[in-house]
Amino acid sequence: MKLIGDRFPEVEVETTHGKIKLPDHFAGKWFILFSHPADFTPVCTTEFVSFQKHYDEFRALGVELIGLSVDQVFSHIKWVEWIEKKLGVKIEFPIIADHTLDVSKELGLIHPNKDTTTVRAVFMVDPNAIIRAIIYYPQEIGRNIPEVVRALKALKTFDEKKLAVPANWPNNELIGDRLIVPPAKSVEDAKRRLEAAQRGEHECYDWWFCHKKA
């Protein structure tokens, strides 16, 4: 079972866009792999529509999407045809047909005490093929896709600014859209934090809680 900080496993998968080698297919790019329990189910259908509705937003961030379930590829194809015909939404990203369960077992997507289908998981993978975030939901609860977008933006912001991201960012109840200076690692560092605050380089509630504009 892969964890945050691990390299995404090298696998060849069958998808609605043909065979794909992961993570090579997205080399140099961020990508999100998300699993769903089954095709032709109501909650999963609402999720796929929402992922597609936000696809331009993901691509604007340089992020690609790829879905997964244990259904056969012909089931995926028929399902996305149904979504386009009945709901007017064309699913543009590929969907993995993991009927062998190889990828699902590798990523820990099947939780036997819950069900025999894949849970709703989200894996956020950076351009170096490192898993940066994992989110799990049970089968009965649909995901909040804007939160997936927000988390991706937060990861990219951290990589760029080297500043941590607060709860509910960019609408945090204490500091709004400001970012958090990483904790001090020594007594001298703590002292310098407060001195820097006096110079206006950032603001602090205390030496261990300093924040600044992005």
Positions marked catalytic: 44
Decide: 175 and 169 in contact? Cβ < 8 Å: no
Tell me: cis bond preceding 170? Omega within 30 of 0 counts: yes
The Cα-based distances of 84 to 52, 89, 92, 189 in angstroms read 11, 5, 10, 57
Strands (E), 16-99: 18-22, 30-35, 63-69, 95-97
How far apart, in Å, do the first and last CA atoms of the chain sit? Answer: 35
